[in-house]
Amino acid sequence: KTQNDYLHQWVEHRNEYLDALLAMEAPPNLWKCLICDGDRIYRCLGCFSQP
């Protein structure tokens, strides 16, 4: 096979690859603070800056 053959094969599945890459970039579904179990979206404001 040539490089073009491999690229054509990849192009047929590009949406699957893109979906997988984007899924890995998404934030985790953990919307609770791992330290105090409080609610958080970006960071827990109660635990932020504490050791």
Tell me what pLDDT residue 36 has: 74
* Poorest-pLDDT segment among 8-12, 24-28, 39-43: 39-43
Tell me what pLDDT residue 29 has: 62
Hunting for tokens 């490089």 — which residue is that?
3
DSSP one-letter string for the chain: --HHHHHHHHHHTHHHHHHHHHHHHSPPS--B-TTT--B-SSS-TTTTT--
Computed from CA positions of residues 12, 16, 22, 25, in that sequence, does the dihedral angle turn out positive or negative?
A: negative
How many domains, in total, are found in the chain? 1
Residue 11 CA to residue 3 CA, distance in Å, equals 12
Structural domain including 46 reads 1-51
Position 44 pLDDT exceeds 80: no
pTM over 0.95: no
